[in-house]
Amino acid sequence: MKATIASQAAAAAAPDSLRAVGARWSRIRWFEIVFWVVAIGAAFVLPRGFLLLNELAILALFAVSLDLILGYAGIVSLGHAAFFGLGAYCAALLAKHFGIDPILGLAISAALSALLGLVTSVLVMRGSDLTRLMVTLGVALILYEIANKMGWLTGGADGLTGVTMVPLFGTFEFDLFGRTAYTYSVIVLAILFFIARAIVHSPFGMSLQVVRQNPLRAAAMGVAVNRRRAAVYTLAAAYAGVAGALLAQTTGFASLDVLAFHRSADVMLMLVIGGAGYLYGGIIGAVIFKFMQDWLSGITPQYWQFWIGLLLVVIVVVGHDKLVRPWTWFRRGQGGKQ
């Protein structure tokens, strides 16, 4: 009887404790402000790097979207490119055939990707991690083949050409140097990042971490495990759709490459490099991955993937925490543990 009363009291106090922890972690630190000021200010400092910076901002948003499901909900996916590609094709088709404002195209792309995420979440919720890997990969492959066969709509293997973006808000034109594109992408990234940051530090986000660590215990505590997983999966799909839409809008092109398997594999690598379960990890991983790709492909064009693979092996063997905090290598914990 006493144990039952104690468990009920702990369950009642849990939401308050979650709110307290979330409020503490949701406070914006000074270095975060500096980070975003530098990121947005790069548009005025680097006159020749806009195209690369724009791609980095898009990849960072894509990595953040995967982190929402992998790092916070424990949902593994090898087909996250399905939502990225759907958003890209949707934005490109809307721009080509209707000439709508990029912001509206972004919203529609996000909505359609979220709808796909909601529908496929029913399949993802079933089975083990291996089942989820196969289901997510299968969804991406199905969309890839659909886009390939519907050449009259998507351009097939040649890609969707003739995409012309109208000026942003009717004023800011997308120039060849990419200044408008990068400013647009990084502002969208910042807005969606802080929305995601608020979500993961809310009681909902804290409950997701409980679900990730022990789904059975979370269900015993009365947490609607599948509903929370479906909700965050839908949100992540919308974020990935926005990333794909940004790519199509800022490059004026969409091809089967946006649905290819390497897109899902690359974003997984970014998250492993930067660290999952920490939204900035996706951004850091995207920056490191892209710069390594460009730098190593310039040095060894045929073997750059070997070095990225080697880095991945080192991270797995040594541990991500030890790499980012090397001073812990020689620190001994209690009980003789390293």
pLDDT digits (tens, 9 = 90+) for 102-130: 999 999 999 999 999 999 998 887 777 78
pLDDT of residue 319: 64
Lowest mean pLDDT among 213-217, 246-250, 251-255, 286-290: 213-217
* Residues whose CB is less than 8 angstroms from the CB of residue 331 and which lie 6 or more positions away in sequence, other chains included: 338
Model pLDDT, residue 146: 94
Instruction: Please say if the pLDDT value at position 217 is more than 60.
Output: yes
Mean pLDDT score, 273-292 = 86
Residue 151 lies in a domain: yes
Concatenated DSSP letters for 300-320? Answer: -TTTHHHHHHHHHHHHHHH-H
Q: Which of 3-12, 137-146, 213-222, 323-332 has the lowest mean pLDDT?
A: 3-12
Q: Using CB atoms within 10 Å of the CB of residue 280, give its burial: 0 to 12 exposed, 13 to 18 middle, 19+ buried.
A: middle
Percent of the chain with pLDDT over 90: 35
| Residue 307: inside a domain | no
305 belongs to a structural domain: no
Q: How many CB atoms lie within 10 A of CB 290?
A: 18
In a domain, 291, yes or no: no
Does position 15 have pLDDT exceeding 60, yes or no? no
Q: Which of 2-6, 245-249, 291-295, 319-323 has the highest mean pLDDT?
A: 245-249
Helix crossing, 50-70 with 261-274: angle to 10°? Answer: 80
The alpha carbon dihedral of 24, 25, 28, 33 has a sign of positive
Q: Poorest-confidence range of 4-18, 103-117, 165-179, 211-225?
A: 4-18
Residues 89-94: what's their mean pLDDT? 94
Virtual torsion, Cα 73, 271, 38, 55, nearest 10 deg = -110
Q: What is the DSSP letter of 328?
A: G
- Judged against a pLDDT cut of 50, whether residue 308 lies above it is answered with yes
Q: Is 37 helix (H, G, I), strand (E, B) or coil?
A: helix
* 234 domain-assigned: yes
pLDDT score of 4: 41
More confident of the two residues 209 and 325? 209
Give me the mean pLDDT over the 41-46 stretch: 70
User: DSSP code of 288?
Assistant: H
The verdict on residue 333 lying in a domain is no
pLDDT on residue 20: 53
Q: Tell me: pLDDT of 317 over 80.
A: no
pLDDT score of 81: 95
Residue 334 has pLDDT above 60, yes or no: no
126: left (phi over 0), alpha (psi -120 to 50) or beta: beta
- Phi, psi at 147, each rounded to 5°: -65, -35
Between 169 and 257, name the one with better pLDDT: 257
* Residue 16 scores a pLDDT above 50: yes
In a domain, 332, yes or no: no
Is there a domain that residue 338 lies in?
Answer: no
For residue 292, is pLDDT > 80? yes
pLDDT of residue 259: 95
Number of structural domains the chain divides into: 1
pLDDT band at 169 (very low <50, low <70, confident <90, very high): confident
212 pLDDT band (50/70/90 cuts)? confident
Identify whether the C-beta of residue 293 lies closer than 8 Å to the C-beta of residue 306: no
**Integer CA distances (angstroms), 195 to 64, 81, 191, in order:** 11, 22, 6
For the domain that residue 94 is a member of, what is the CATH number? 1.10.3470
State the pLDDT confidence band at 314, using cuts at 50, 70 and 90: confident
Range of the domain at 226: 2-282
Lowest mean pLDDT among 88-102, 107-121, 180-194, 272-286: 272-286
Q: Which of 5-14, 154-163, 254-263 has the lowest mean pLDDT?
A: 5-14
Mean pLDDT of 52-79: 92
Which 3 state secondary structure label does DSSP give 78? coil
